[in-house]
Amino acid sequence: MQLKPTKAYAAAGVDIDLGNRVKAGLPRLLAATRRAGVIGRVGGFGGLFALDVKKYREPVLVASVDGVGTKLKLAFALDCHDTIGQDLVNHCVNDIAVLGAEPLFFLDYLGTGKLEPRVFAAIIRGFAKACAENHCALIGGETAQMPGFYQPGEYDVSGTIVGVVERKRLLDGKAIRAGDLVLGLASSGLHTNGYSLARRILFEQMRLTPKSYLPELQNTIGDELLRVHVGYGPLMQGLLRRFNPPSSARNQAPSIRAFAHITGGGFIDNIPRVLPRNSGVVIHRETWDVPPIFRLLQEAGRVPDREAYQVFNMGIGMVAIVAANQAQAVLKFVRRRGHRAWCIGEVVRGRRGVEVV
Q: What is the pTM of this model?
A: 0.91
Q: What is the pLDDT of residue 12?
A: 60
How many angstroms separate the Cα of 29 from the Cα of each of 57, 82, 131, 153, 206?
A: 34, 13, 11, 23, 41
What CATH class is the domain 8-169? alpha beta
Give the 3-state DSSP-derived string for 310-348, with helices as H, strands as E and coil as C.
HHCCCCEEEEEEECHHHHHHHHHHHHHCCCCEEEEEEEE
- By CB atoms closer than 10 A (0-12, 13-18, 19+), residue 275 is buried
Query: Which are the contacts of 189, defined by CB distance < 8 A and separation ≥ 6?
Result: 224, 225, 227, 291, 293
pLDDT score, position 248: 57
The pLDDT value recorded for residue 126 is 94
How many other C-beta atoms can be found within 10 angstroms of the C-beta atom of residue 66? 20
- Tens of pLDDT along the chain (357 residues) come to 555 556 766 666 666 666 566 665 666 666 677 888 888 777 678 888 899 988 999 999 999 999 999 999 999 999 999 999 999 999 999 999 999 999 999 999 999 998 888 998 999 999 999 999 999 999 988 888 898 899 999 999 999 999 999 999 999 999 999 999 999 999 999 999 999 999 999 999 999 999 999 999 999 999 999 999 999 999 999 999 999 988 654 567 899 999 999 999 999 999 999 999 999 999 999 999 999 999 999 999 999 999 999 999 999 999 999 999 999 999 999 999 999 999 999 999 999 999 999
Q: What is the pLDDT of residues 278-298, one digit of tens each?
A: 999 999 999 999 999 999 999
- Assign a CATH topology to domain 181-356: Phosphoribosyl-aminoimidazole Synthetase; Chain A, domain 2 (3.90.650)
DSSP 204: I
Is there a contact between 173 and 258 (Cβ–Cβ < 8 Å)? yes
Q: Are 140 and 42 in contact (CB under 8 A)?
A: yes
Label the pairing between strands 155-166 and 59-67: antiparallel
Interior CA angle at 317 toward 311 and 322, to 5°? 120
Which residue in 39, 15, 43, 46 sits closest to 27, CA to CA? 43
Domain map of the chain by residue range? 8-169, 181-356
pLDDT tens readout for residues 157-170:
999 999 999 999 99
